[in-house]
Amino acid sequence: MRSRIVLVMLALLIAPLVAYAQLTYRCVSQDGKKYYGSTIPPQCYGRPIEQINKQGTVVRRIDPEGDAKERAEKEASLAKKKEEDAATREEHRRNRALLATYTSDRDIEDARRRALADNEKAVKDVEQKIDVLKKTRAKYEKELEFYKDKKTGEVKPPAKVSNDIANTDIDLKAQEDLLAAKKKEVEVINAKYDEDKKRFAELMKTRGGR
């Protein structure tokens, strides 16, 4: 009696495996032909595949392209989630830094004034350097008169003078570019502190500070 029970249990366990083994793979290849096999035919690789039983009923469908698309969508979703989480962490960090730096709108305006004052000083320093370079360049222009041929009008200064003039022109161009950048910084500074004031007000409102 006991042995019969064991045999029945084994039969129940083996039956699904036998049934699964009897399934047939079927697909339509790129050339339009149907292929069958107890294992996936080589012609079916990369193609939608159906598993059918002995009665010809489809019991499972396998779509490689669909699986790949699903994996790609999942990976893209995970990447987007990571980016969003990183952006959220960065926003929280910036908010904590803002609240640690300022206690009121007055603090923000004081910081703005200091930044603008530093910028104004930098602009004046650059303007002074430009003024000196322009005066130096003017002196070189006068000096070139000594090297002008009175008959031909051709100017042939010594190599040192030519190099000094070229270096002065390079320095002058660099300082003029720096001056333009410093003047543009005013807009950047004001935009920064405007944004700080806006975020500060929102954070204080959220915390019930106002």
More confident residue, 39 or 174: 174
- Contact (Cβ atoms closer than 8 angstroms) between residue 94 and residue 81: no
- Contact (Cβ atoms closer than 8 angstroms) between residue 73 and residue 55: no
Write the pLDDT tens digit of every residue in 177-197: 999 999 999 999 999 999 999
The label of the residue with tokens 């935009």 reads 191
More confident residue, 137 or 147: 137
Write the pLDDT tens digit of every residue in 97-121: 999 999 999 999 999 999 999 999 9
More confident residue, 188 or 28: 188
Quote the pTM value.
0.57
Categorize the per-residue pLDDT at 66 as very low, low, confident or very high, splitting at 50, 70 and 90: low
Dihedral in degrees, nearest 10, Cα atoms 118, 119, 123, 126: 70
The residue ranges of every structural domain in the chain are 2-64, 71-101, 103-206
What are the start-end ranges of the H helices in 36-158? Answer: 64-101, 105-144
The label of the residue with tokens 């019991």 reads 59
- Contact (Cβ atoms closer than 8 angstroms) between residue 39 and residue 25: yes
Res. 19: pLDDT tops 70: no
